[in-house]
Structure 1
Amino acid sequence: MIVTAHSRNTPQPRSHRRARKRSSRLLPAAVASLAVLAGCLAVGMATDAEGDSSGPDPGNEVGAAGDDVPGRSESSVPRSGSGTFTTAEGDGGKVGRGRLLRYKVEVEKGIGLSAPKVAAEVGAILADKRGWTGDGQWAFRRVSGGTPDFVVRVATPDTVDKICGGAGLDTGGEVNCRAGVDVVVNLKRWLLATRYYDKDVPGYRALIINHEVGHFLGHGHESCPGGGEPAPVMMQQIKGLKGCKPNVWPFTRNGRPITGPPTQ
């Protein structure tokens, strides 16, 4: 589940796109069948994290600068941290052609992530032509000083719960949120992804950023438009794909929006 809270700081897009214990008596064959099904659901074939490996936009350029730790398990992810943050230094170049939004990238201190590497990965996601710059409405530039339009913060589950809880949101130590100007990323999700994307953790990070920044841009949740279709980035894919194929981008390479029916 990915949750969000709205505030007066939320910019509105120029145009609204709404179209947008298992029993021990199970026979071995049945167990094998379930294992195969689970495997199929879990593989996010290194294209789009929550992306469609067989859709119109295969390929994934994000993740090369990330902090991937092979074999990392849930027990190795710290539950709590210092509650203080390091800001990635330096300013980035402008990406996109629309209204410019400035953002910072912050990483909770002492959690083993490099702020510059996280910033590079976030920057690659926001610069991707399949991202929120895809329709020409938005442009982004990373800054390290002043008052940004929004802040991407990667933090431990307890710190995420505290920040998001301050906005009236229950993240339960598991999920991310958008609270006012803060795009809050749960360290557990950043490192482990979900069962659908455990084979493509860097790609899943694109879904986190695009989903929560999408909320900041004024987009609400969407549902699967139909079996076999790519899942909208604003769909709460952690709850299940509902017949859709994995997808982490709001647009195709040619600028077509990937959307579904709006939900509550």
Structure 2
Amino acid sequence: MAGPDRHRRGRRRAKKRASIAGPLALAAVLVLGAGAGYAAWHKSRASEGSARLGTDSVPATTTPPAPATTADGDRSPSPTPTTTSPKPSKKAAKPTASATTSAPPASVPKHGTGYFTVARASGAASGQGTIRRYKVEVEGGISLSATDAAHEIAVILADPRGWTADGHDGFQLVSSGPADFVIKIATPDTVDRICGAAGLDTGGEVNCDVGATVVVNLKRWMLGSPEFDGPIAGYRALIINHEVGHRIGHHHEGCPGPGKPAPVMMQQIKGLHGCVANQWPYDSQGRYISGPPVA
């Protein structure tokens, strides 16, 4: 009896352990499954968060460079690529005056270096008869191109209303070799020094003709004369024609009458006395514009 009873009691204990182990195993499975699911969910959230953090930590656009400083010191925005040409700024659209149309300066320097630069310019002779070779020199320390001045003077002396209209006088601009006379453009103080050495009083205002030198006052070249109501180019023609007129033997003349053109040999800067300002020795018909001689 003892043997069968032990076997029955053993089977009952095994069933009891099995009935307990089943729920425990299921609980363990549920716990493990829940842990694995949480781990997977947490990993997914962490990856998503890192992705968002990574996106937010990188700027969507790079910071544009600092705006460039323009030459005038104003700040201008950096250029952006575009398929059309940018509109020009108002400043760029404004026309700039050329050297020939700009107003004369309010003042000119009184002093220069006292040394002269020969214009490196030459040209063909104009006129007939006696051809006088001439050079153009400009004093240092002033804002005037010797070459530009020489070309302007050459145009004046070659004009058909100039001294070549007489058929006996001609001129040729040269930059080297012998010359019959020299045209110097100098500051007022230098003009006074050169002209004063010959006993002439130019007072820092006017031009002179000394020996083989025509001395042009920079003040008159740049500012003209209050007695001359034409353009500055016209007054420069008067200066050259008057002084070169002395070179070829002409003397001062007076006003021929009210309303008539002033002779180029008239000292127009001292007043027109009823005449009309004029810069040419001859009119367009080739007639000499004369006046009474002045002692």
Cross-structure match for 1:207: 238
**Which of 174, 179, 184 does residue 215 from structure 2 map onto?**
184
State whether residues 252 and 294 of structure 2, in contact with CA within 8 Å, keep that contact through their aligned partners in structure 1. yes
Change (3 A) 1:151 1:67: farther
**Which of 99, 110, 114 does residue 145 from structure 2 map onto?**
114
Change (3 A) 1:184 1:73: same
State whether residues 66 and 117 of structure 1, in contact with CA within 8 Å, keep that contact through their aligned partners in structure 2. no
1:232 aligns with 2:263: yes
Task: State the secondary structure of the residue aligned to 1:160.
Answer: helix
**Which of 119, 127, 135 does residue 104 from structure 1 map onto?**
135
Cross-structure match for 2:274: 243
1:253 aligns with 2:284: yes
Instruction: Output one character per residue of 1:190-234: Cα deviation in whole Å (capped at 9) or x when no partner.
Output: 000011336511110000000000011111100001111100000
| Counterpart AA for 2:255 | C
Cross-structure match for 2:91: none
Q: Structure 1: which 5+ runs fail to align?
A: 1-64
| Counterpart AA for 2:112 | G
Structure 1 length as normaliser, TM-score? Answer: 0.72
Deviation at 1:68, TM superposition (A): 6.8
Cross-structure match for 2:293: 262
Deviation at 1:90, TM superposition (A): 3.2
**Which of 222, 225, 240 does residue 253 from structure 2 map onto?**
222
Of the two, which has the highest radius of gyration?
2
Change (3 A) 1:86 1:66: farther
| Counterpart AA for 1:70 | A
In structure 2, C-alpha distance between the alignment counterparts of 1:68 and 1:190, rounded to whole Å: 15
Task: State the secondary structure of the residue aligned to 2:192.
Answer: helix
Cross-structure match for 2:106: 73
Cross-structure match for 2:227: 196
1:125 aligns with 2:156: yes
Cross-structure match for 1:82: 113
Deviation at 1:137, TM superposition (A): 1.0
Instruction: Output one character per residue of 1:138-158: Cα deviation in whole Å (capped at 9) or x when no partner.
Output: 011011112210111100000
| Counterpart AA for 1:81 | G
Q: How does 1:17-166 map to 2 (within 5 A)?
A: 70=103, 72-74=105-107, 77-166=108-197
State whether residues 192 and 198 of structure 1, in contact with CA within 8 Å, keep that contact through their aligned partners in structure 2. no
Cross-structure match for 2:93: none
Task: State the secondary structure of the residue aligned to 1:133.
Answer: helix
Deviation at 1:66, TM superposition (A): 6.7
Task: State the secondary structure of the residue aligned to 2:166.
Answer: coil
In structure 2, C-alpha distance between the alignment counterparts of 1:98 and 1:133, rounded to whole Å: 9
**Structure having greater relative contact order (Cα 8 Å, sep ≥ 6):** 1
Q: Structure 2: which 5+ runs fail to align?
A: 1-97
State whether residues 98 and 133 of structure 1, in contact with CA within 8 Å, keep that contact through their aligned partners in structure 2. no
Identity of aligned residues (%): 59
In structure 2, C-alpha distance between the alignment counterparts of 1:152 and 1:69, rounded to whole Å: 24
State whether residues 100 and 140 of structure 1, in contact with CA within 8 Å, keep that contact through their aligned partners in structure 2. yes
Task: State the secondary structure of the residue aligned to 2:156.
Answer: helix
Instruction: Output one character per residue of 1:5-47: Cα deviation in whole Å (capped at 9) or x when no partner.
Output: xxxxxxxxxxxxxxxxxxxxxxxxxxxxxxxxxxxxxxxxxxx
* Number of residues of Structure 1 aligned to a counterpart in Structure 2: 198
State whether residues 88 and 115 of structure 1, in contact with CA within 8 Å, keep that contact through their aligned partners in structure 2. yes
Change (3 A) 1:105 1:71: closer
State whether residues 228 and 269 of structure 2, in contact with CA within 8 Å, keep that contact through their aligned partners in structure 1. no
Deviation at 1:168, TM superposition (A): 1.1
In structure 2, C-alpha distance between the alignment counterparts of 1:66 and 1:185, rounded to whole Å: 20
Task: State the secondary structure of the residue aligned to 2:163.
Answer: coil
Task: State the secondary structure of the residue aligned to 2:200.
Answer: coil
